[in-house]
Structure 1
Amino acid sequence: MQKIKLSRAVLTNHSGITDIMRKENRLSALRDKMLVFGGLLSIIEILGIGIAFYLYHLNQITSFVIEVLALVVIIFMMALGLSRYYYDNVEYACPNCGDIFIPSFLAFNLAPHTPKFRKLTCPRCGKRSYCLEISRE
C-alpha cells in the first residue's frame, strides 16, 4: 500500500478526507483484529471472574485473593499490550496544517476520540483538534 500524502488542501476538503478514509483498508483490518483480541480479553475476564466467584463461595480466601490479583495483572497487561499494538500502527493528520504526526503514548491514551478521529495537539501548528487517524506504513 502506498503512503498517502496529505496536504492542507486535501485535509480541508471534506471529499478529500472521505477518500482518504475509504482507502484505509489496512486501518479497517487493524480495527477488526482489535475487535477480535478485545473479545478474547473479555472472555478471559469473564472466566476469571467466574473462577474468583467460585473460589469465594468455597471459602478459599487465599486462593481467591491470589486469583483476583493475578486476573487484574493479566487483564491490565493484555489491555496495555493491545493499546500499544494499536498505537504502533496508527498516526494522525492535522486538519489545520496537514502535518502527519505520532503523539506520545500517554497523549494517545488520554485523548478523547471517536473511531476515526482523536483530539490531539498538532506539534507543527499547535492547534488542538480532532485529527484523522491513518495507518502507519
Structure 2
Amino acid sequence: MTADQLEMICKVQDSLADYALISQPDLDGIENMMESKPKLTKFRWWMLTWGLMMDALEILAIAVWIITGNWVPAAIIFPVVIVMAIWIIRDYYNKVEYICPNCHQHFKPSWRDFTFSKHTAKTRKLTCPNCGYRGYCVEVYDVNPKQ
C-alpha cells in the first residue's frame, strides 16, 4: 500500500465515524429537502413569472390613465391583479410545508401564521405544533399538496 492509499482509507474511516453521529430523522430531513429543492425552485420561478406579468398589467393601466386620463382600464385591471395575487398566495400556501429544526417534524402552519410571520426566502418564523419550538423553520415543497 502506498501512503496516498493509506491516507484515503483513513479519510473514509473518519467520514464513516461522522456518518454514525447523524440520526435517521436528520438523514430523512436532509433527503426530503434535497428532493424538494428542484420542485420548490421551479414553483418560485412560476410565481415570479406571474408576479412580473401582474406588475406589467398594473404599469400599463397606470400609464394609460396618466396619458389618456381614462381610468377605466385601471378600474378593471386592479381587481383582476388582486384576485390573481390571492390565487398565487393560496397556491403557494398549499404547495409548501415547513420542517422544525428541533424535532424534524413536517407541518403546515395556519393560514394566519403563514401570512403574518416573519420570513426569509427559504424560512419562516413559526411555532412547531409537535415540540413547541419557536423559530425559523425550513420551507420545503409539500409532496402531498392540497389543491
- Higher RCO (CA-CA < 8 Å; seq separation 6+): 1
Give yes or no for the alignment of 1:54 onto 2:72. Answer: no
SS at match of 1:126: coil
TM-score in terms of structure 1 length: 0.74
How is 1:1-137 mapped onto 2 (pairs within 5 angstroms)?
7=25, 9-10=26-27, 17=30, 20-23=32-35, 24-56=37-69, 63-64=70-71, 66-137=72-143
Paired with 1:79 and 1:105, the residues of 2 have a C-alpha distance of 15
Q: Work out the number of aligned pairs and report it.
A: 119
SS, match of residue 32 in structure 1: helix
TM-score of the superposed pair, with normalisation by structure 2:
0.70
Residue 90 of structure 1 aligns with an amino acid whose one-letter code is: V
Q: Is the 8 A contact 2:58 2:74 kept in 1?
A: no
Structure 1 residues not aligned, in runs of 5+: 1-5, 57-62
Percent identity (aligned)? 36
Structure number with greater Rg is 2
Runs of 4+ that moved beyond 6 A = none
Shift in Å at residue 20 of structure 1? 4.9
- What is the aligned-residue RMSD (CA, Å)? 2.2
Shift of 1:67: 3.7
**By how many angstroms is 1:71 displaced?**
3.1
**Post-superposition CA distance 1:21-55 (Å, at most 9, x none):** 44321111111111111111111111111122134
Unpaired runs of 5+ residues, structure 2, are 1-23
Cα-to-partner distance string for 1:71-97 (whole Å, 9 max, x where unaligned):
331221111111111111100011111
